[in-house]
Amino acid sequence: MLQVAVVSGKGGTGKTVVTGAIAARFSGSVVMADCDVDASNLALLMMPDIIQTEPFYGLNRAVIDPKKCVLCGVCADNCRFNAISVSEKRVDVNQVHCEGCGVCEFICLAKAVKLVPYICGEVRSGNTRFGPFIDGKLNPGNGNSGLMVHTIRKKAREISPDIPLVLIDGPPGIGCPLISTVTGCDIVLLVTEPSSSGRHDLERLVTVCKSMRCRLVMVINRADLVPDGTHDLRVFAKEESIPILCEIPVDPMVVQATRAGVPFSLSDSPATRMIQNVVEFIQNELKEE
Ligand code: SF4
Ligand code: SF4
């Protein structure tokens, strides 16, 4: 099973649109996993029929038994996350601020604190016309995005073990969800654009991915928008020994198809002809599996 993560240093580079275009060309041979758990949107393009929705449990949270609590306030004094408030009549734990560290449970002599499982989102699975689909949504204000990415990837590998390709739509940035997304992937496909912010965030992304020994390839999206910027990206890629698989031009067909909620690679256009290079690269990798 080949695992390919599509990532970008910043949002708005067209990462999800590129992921969808690749997935559509591997119809019947791909599992899609949307690991952009803070803003998942691959479903808008791939239109899955969701078959199963499961609760996602993050770290445990503290709850206080008012019958046992003697209102001493020691737990609040020792909570480093300021998650506990004490009044004359009760002690409350803010479930969003609680990190489940367990200090309050350890320190409470009245044994009034318990750590309990806490639902902080959901993981969904279903089918698209191209193959199985998994994504996840964290409830607002909840962390544990790295843990959710891990859960989604595990499910993607298990849901159809005979399918040779897992294609992951990764999160933007270089934080915990990105690290969880690229860890153990066979190929990391960097989607970038010729803007100064795109270049800056790409550099940070490459630094992180290289520190994790990821195998990197690159796609430059909207490559004809800023020719000088694209030239700089080519120089950067050469210096970093990252192959550029294709340069996708600005193409009205991409906008039209995306607005219609379909992958652009289902129609013939300049962008589709460029994506074919990525498809052939992955096909060759699959042959060597
Ligand atoms: S330490 Fe225990 S008894 Fe004291 S306020 Fe906290 S929960 Fe209540
Ligand atoms: S488990 Fe940790 S973070 Fe949560 S309320 Fe207790 S001390 Fe604070």
pLDDT of residue 17: 95
Mean pLDDT of 172-183: 92
In whole angstroms, give the CA distance from residue 136 to residue 146: 12
- Is residue 202 scored above 80 in pLDDT? yes
Which ligand has its closest atom nearest to the C-alpha of 95? 2
Which ligand has its closest atom nearest to the C-alpha of 62? 2
Ligand 2 shell residues, CB under 6 Å? 62, 79, 81, 83-84, 93, 98-104
- Is residue 221 scored above 80 in pLDDT? yes
- Contact, 41 vs 105, CB < 8 A? no
Last residue of a domain, one of 88, 116, 144: 116
For the stretch 60-95, pLDDT in tens is 999 999 999 999 999 999 999 999 999 988 999 998
Residue 42 CA to its chain's centroid (Å): 10
Residue nearest to atom 2 of ligand 1 (CA): 108
pLDDT of residue 102: 96
Pair 138, 239 in one domain = yes
**Domain with 6 in it: what CATH number?**
3.40.50.300
Pair 185, 87 in one domain = no
pTM for the full predicted model: 0.88
Pair 230, 147 in one domain = yes
Pair 131, 26 in one domain = yes
Which helix (DSSP H) or strand (DSSP E) does residue 248 occupy? strand 244-248
Total domains in the fold of the chain: 2
In whole angstroms, give the CA distance from residue 201 to residue 83: 34
- Is residue 59 scored above 90 in pLDDT? no
| Cα 111 to averaged position of ligand 1 atoms, centre (Å) | 8
Residue 109 exposure: Cα atoms within 13 Å on the Cβ side: 5
Residue nearest to atom 4 of ligand 2 (CA): 98
| Cα 164 to averaged position of ligand 2 atoms, centre (Å) | 43
**Local confidence band at 140 (pLDDT 50, 70, 90 cut-offs):** confident
In the chain, % helix, strand, coil (3-state, to 5) comes to 35, 25, 35
Pair 111, 201 in one domain = no
Residue 121 in tokens: 């989102």
Q: Is the CB of 83 under 6 A from ligand 1?
A: no
For the stretch 8-41, pLDDT in tens is 988 888 999 999 999 999 999 999 999 998 888 9
Domain that residue 109 falls in: 61-116
